[in-house]
Amino acid sequence: MKKIISTALFVALSAIPAHAADTVTLQLKWVTQAQFAGYYVAADKGFYKDEGLEVNILPGGPDVAPAQVIAGGGADVVVDWMLSALAAREQGLALVNIAQPFKSSGMMLTCLKESGVSSPADFSNKTLGVWFGGNEYPFLNWMSRLGLKTDGSAGGVTVLKQGFDVNPLLNKEAACVSTMTYNEYYQVLDAGVAADDLVTFKYEDEGVALLEDGLYVLEKNLKDAAFADKMVRFVRASMKGWKYAEANVAEAAGIVVENDASGAGDQIVQERMMGEIAKLTAGSNGALAEADFNRTVATLMAGGSDPVITKKPEGAWSHAITDLALK
């Protein structure tokens, strides 16, 4: 009888539905790649599940603007660069940075040594490839510090509006082009150019770097206690995922490849990328450093007649989530 009662109790308890996990939708800035490994690792290793969360990760792409997605209700939280988030905020979309997994910038200029560039002093009278869409502002700030005009006049530099490829360098249309340490730089190497034939200048080292991949939510949503609680758990699990990825580069790359629905993921490429990404997330516990924010704002406001933002934003970041998540 005791066994029968125990069995019946087990069946009865099993019939009670488990507490449903809270759902979070995360919109990435770009396609599935090691740039976002921490989130895929957190999902794969059960870190989100441990926090009572079911996280839907939406890949981005060239036609996906995270700010537009969250404005339209398509995501709870987005990965974006601060320049985009601050521009959106000034235009009326109140985005707030709740965590900053990337401590350092991966942006740099990659130059051919044969062009005669060995230091920034050699930029004079050279053609330099530059990404636009806001990415030009740290470059313009840097050139201004060097005393170099960017209008193509004698003694200055000629700016080539660069697409997201390295063809201007490979075709020798430019002495230097914009690259990310974890992406386009390796496109140059994969094209057959030896690393010894290149010289690189990291924006981080030049003091003009912008904050890159951060987590942003709508300010109005942070006022909702239930939403804020979800974000505390989400950030805690995400940072656990990032630190695991930093320490387990090959495994993290494999998880990214497994989650690439396009089927284009390559273990070697993603492992190489993850190795570089780990250098950018190292040193961050997830909380934004105010000094990094101030540097980013100063760089964006130094855009001459057409700056990304026209005044220092108030309320654009908060430690409210990380203060609880990182206890």
d(CA 277, CA 280): 5
Torsions phi, psi for 321 (to 5 deg): -80, -50
Res. 304 pLDDT band, cuts 50 70 90: low
d(CA 269, CA 247): 18
- The mean pLDDT value of the chain amounts to 92
- How much of the chain exceeds pLDDT 90, in percent? 83
pTM of the model: 0.90
What is the pLDDT, as a whole number, of residue 108? 97
- CATH level 3 topology of 107-206: D-Maltodextrin-Binding Protein; domain 2 (3.40.190)
d(CA 327, CA 323): 7
What is the pLDDT, as a whole number, of residue 135? 85
Instruction: Convert the pLDDT of each residue in 184-239 to its tens digit.
Output: 999 999 999 999 999 999 999 999 999 999 999 999 999 999 999 999 999 999 99
292 close to 100: Cβ distance less than 8 angstroms: yes
> 18-104+211-325 and 107-206 share one CATH topology?
yes
Res. 301 pLDDT band, cuts 50 70 90: confident
Q: Across residues 154-159, what is the average pLDDT?
A: 96
Q: Taking the domain 18-104+211-325, which CATH number applies?
A: 3.40.190.10
Q: Across residues 177-188, what is the average pLDDT?
A: 97
| Helices of type H across the chain | 2-15, 37-44, 47-50, 66-71, 82-90, 136-146, 167-170, 184-190, 203-206, 219-222, 225-247, 249-258, 267-281, 290-300, 320-325
Instruction: Convert the pLDDT of each residue in 81-108 to its tens digit.
Output: 999 999 999 999 999 999 999 999 999 9
3-state secondary structure of 163: coil
Domain boundaries, the chain: 18-104+211-325, 107-206
280 close to 105: Cβ distance less than 8 angstroms: yes
Q: Across residues 239-243, what is the average pLDDT?
A: 98
